[in-house]
């Protein structure tokens, strides 16, 4: 170990952070993993067997993945044009857009969720706007619906989609689009064959960030849709805090961890592939 540290002095700089993460996160995570496979003090997969044999568990997994996919898609639709505008803006305009993106991150998730309760209710801004546009005939409630949950969660996570895409787009030479235009390429052709392929590493990273956070969100579903709509994160919280079922809580936590790690690993592989291709 000493020889390794002498060979790589940079490792000494990372050692405090590694020890901190191992103590704060590694040890509790190891205990959680051990608890999920221990029944009565002996190794057993009975918890996972019972979980996956219950149809309600598959409903919870479906709720989690469907909500996360909806939030990710909405964030991508909102985030890509914003990142493109941010990359092309200069001076005060770029600074103003950055402030508008980053400043909401200073507001707590609980505060945002309570604010969205007001926006999504029957007499809220969204309902009144849709009535004004003629899309709805009368007031309708979006609060405590899956659509309202996706809209509210997207508002919280959209900066994590914008910033990775922007970090890639700002490195793309804007003259590439101009060169394609001089060769007769239409705007759609330039977007799908020039801008979009070059921004794929940022898109993959943003999707990984948002999808991972959306699968594990707890406060936002609790406040915007309630207990009748269960996800893996809310079921984990209820298992530990209310039902006092540590076996179920640790099992759902491990399933959620596997999904999140799988998304991160897949996104890393895709980033390397697209990064190398570009």
| Cα gap 52→45, rounded to integer Å | 11
Q: Which fold has domain 55-277?
A: MetI-like fold (1.10.3720)
pLDDT in tens, 213-258: 999 999 999 999 988 899 999 999 999 988 888 889 999 999 999 9
Q: What 3-state class would DSSP assign to 38?
A: strand
Q: Supply the pLDDT for residue 278.
A: 46
Rg of the chain over Cα atoms, rounded to whole angstroms, equals 23
| Cα gap 67→3, rounded to integer Å | 49
Q: Supply the pLDDT for residue 97.
A: 92
For the chain, residues with pLDDT lower than 50 are: 277-278
**What does pTM read for this prediction?**
0.89
Q: Supply the pLDDT for residue 4.
A: 54
Q: Are 157 and 210 in contact (CB under 8 A)?
A: yes
Q: Which segments of the chain does DSSP mark as H helices, in order? A: 2-7, 10-21, 27-36, 46-52, 55-88, 91-102, 109-120, 125-132, 146-157, 159-169, 175-182, 187-190, 196-215, 219-224, 232-241, 246-277
Q: Supply the pLDDT for residue 2.
A: 60
Q: Supply the pLDDT for residue 226.
A: 87
Q: Supply the pLDDT for residue 8.
A: 65
Domain ranges for the chain:
55-277
């Amino acid at each position: 170990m000493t020889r390794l540290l002498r060979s790589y002095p940079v490792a000494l700089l990372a050692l405090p952070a590694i020890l901190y993460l191992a103590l704060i996160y590694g040890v509790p995570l190891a205990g959680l993993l051990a608890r999920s496979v221990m029944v009565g003090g002996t190794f057993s997969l009975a918890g996972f067997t019972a979980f996956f044999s219950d149809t309600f568990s598959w409903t919870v997994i479906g709720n989690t993945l469907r909500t996360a996919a909806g939030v990710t898609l909405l964030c991508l639709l909102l985030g890509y044009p914003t990142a493109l505008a941010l990359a092309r803006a200069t001076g005060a305009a770029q600074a103003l857009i950055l402030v508008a993106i980053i400043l909401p991150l200073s507001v707590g998730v609980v505060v945002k969720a309570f604010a969205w309760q007001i926006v999504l209710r029957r007499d809220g801004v969204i309902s009144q706007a849709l009535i004004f546009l003629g899309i709805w005939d009368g007031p309708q409630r979006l609060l405590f619906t899956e659509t309202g949950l996706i809209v509210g969660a997207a508002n919280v996570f959209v900066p994590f989609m914008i910033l990775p895409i922007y970090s890639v787009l700002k490195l793309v030479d804007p003259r590439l689009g101009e060169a394609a235009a001089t060769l007769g390429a239409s705007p759609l052709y330039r977007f799908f064959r020039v801008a979009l392929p070059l921004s794929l590493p940022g898109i993959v990273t943003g999707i990984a960030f948002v999808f991972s956070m959306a699968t594990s969100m707890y406060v936002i579903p609790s406040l915007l849709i309630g207990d009748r709509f269960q996800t893996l994160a809310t079921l984990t919280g209820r298992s530990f805090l209310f039902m006092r079922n540590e076996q179920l809580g640790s099992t759902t936590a491990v399933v959620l961890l596997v999904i999140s790690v799988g998304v991160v690993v897949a996104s890393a592989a895709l980033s390397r592939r697209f990064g190398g291709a570009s």
